[in-house]
């Protein structure tokens, strides 16, 4: 995989997150899936899971969280994210901090 492909996957992930935060869940799903096609990451699966959660697609949300854990069992909040997507989970609102994602993209951009 080239650095260009990796960088593009992270850029698409950022666009997907922006769409998600704006409430454009269908577009977010489309973009997360595009990012995952380029480079599967636990972060993209996690954010896609949250988007499915916001759409009420609970089974798909749980499946994405499981994929995230399989890819990176040490990803901060992975188990909590999976628990939070279950119906009625108290306080379920946002995935891992966007700042962490920005930091990773900044590192990739500077290489």
DSSP, residue by residue, 19-50:
HHHTT-HHHHHHHHHHHHHHS--HHHHHHHHH
Residue 46: how many other CB atoms lie within 10 Å: 27
Q: What is the model's pTM? A: 0.73
Note the pLDDT tens digit of each residue in 84-101.
555 554 444 444 444 444
- Give the domains, in start order, of the chain with CATH numbers: 3-110 (1.25.40.10)
Question: How many percent of the chain have pLDDT more than 90?
Answer: 53
Cβ atoms of 49 and 61 closer than 8 Å: yes
Residues with Cβ within 8 Å of 12's Cβ and at least 6 positions away in sequence, in order, are 31, 34, 35, 38
């Amino acid at each position: 995989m080239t650095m260009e492909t990796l960088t593009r996957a992270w850029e698409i992930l950022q666009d997907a997150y922006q769409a998600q935060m704006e409430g454009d869940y269908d577009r977010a799903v489309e973009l997360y899936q595009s990012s995952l096609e380029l480079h599967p990451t636990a972060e993209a699966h996690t954010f896609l899971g949250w988007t499915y959660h916001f759409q009420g697609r609970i089974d798909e949300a749980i499946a994405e969280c499981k994929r995230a854990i399989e890819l990176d069992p040490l990803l901060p909040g992975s188990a909590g994210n999976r628990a939070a997507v279950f119906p009625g989970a108290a306080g379920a609102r946002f995935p891992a901090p966007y700042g962490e994602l920005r930091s990773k993209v900044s590192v990739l951009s500077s290489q």
